[in-house]
Structure formats: C-alpha cells, structure tokens
Amino acid sequence: MALTWCEKLAIVVIAAVGLRLLVRLTMFFWKKLIAPGLGLGIDVATQGRWAIVTGATDGLGKAFAQALAARGLDIVLVSRSLPKLEATAQEIKEEYKVETKIVEADLTDGQPVYAKIAKAIEELE
C-alpha cells in the first residue's frame, strides 16, 4: 500500500523534529557532562578576575562584554568612542554589578596603542 502525500509529509516532519531533538540532547550532554569530564573548554573564572574586550561599545564586542560580566568577571572596555565607553561601562556596572574600566583606544593606530592599553591595565589582577 502506497503512502499518501499527507503521510509522507508527516514522516518528514516527524523525522525533522526528531533530528532536532537529538542534536539538542547531544549538545546538552556534550556541554554539561562529556566536555567537562574530559577537561575540555575553559572556565573563564579561573583565568583571572578581569577580561579585556575590544570594540566593546557596539555589536559583538558589547555582547561579549555583557556575557563575561554575566559570569561575574570585571571588564576592561576598549573602544574608540569615549562617550560610548562611558555609557556602556555604566550600563554593565548597573546590570551585572561588576567593576569596569575604560580605555579609549583606536586599534588601527598601530603598535603605540598597545602600550597605552598595557599601562591602563598594569595594576589589574
């Protein structure tokens, strides 16, 4: 007996949902049980109290700064725009209750900017 188009569609949908569930379960077990048991991955809290994030006032840089702050790390924000740095630092302090430090620097200026950043963070842990 041949399957109708409706039955074929149902089989495809059930297979897709099943595959998606399998992928999610696999990722869950990998992240929570397998990888930590094998010593894979990095516990950022063991790397020091401070994290430095460049491009921290917009887009991915800001998202990384917020994600690290959510994990309890204090954040050094590096970007070109001082007003944006101040606003982002205040936002992160208030939302995540962590310390922030700002460094106004344009990384396209070349090597001298790294000395400026190093001087700004030399007293940090």
Question: What's the average model confidence in pLDDT over 15-40?
Answer: 90
In the block, which residue shows the tokens 């460049």? Answer: 54
Tens-place pLDDT, residues 32-57? 888 877 877 777 777 889 999 999 99
Taking residue 88's Cβ as centre, other Cβ atoms within 10 Å add up to 24
* Better pLDDT: 37 or 116: 116
Hey, is 2 helix, strand or coil?
coil
- Please give the model's pTM, rounded to 2 decimal places: 0.67
* Better pLDDT: 59 or 38: 59
Burial zone of 67 (CB within 10 Å; 0-12 exposed, 13-18 middle, 19+ buried) = middle
Q: Residue 54 — φ and ψ, nearest 5°?
A: -90, 155
Under 8 Å between Cβ of 112 and 90: no
The chain-wide mean pLDDT, for the chain, equals 91
Measure Cα distances from 63 to 21, 59, 60, 68, 69 in Å: 27, 6, 5, 9, 10
Q: What is the pLDDT of residue 18?
A: 97
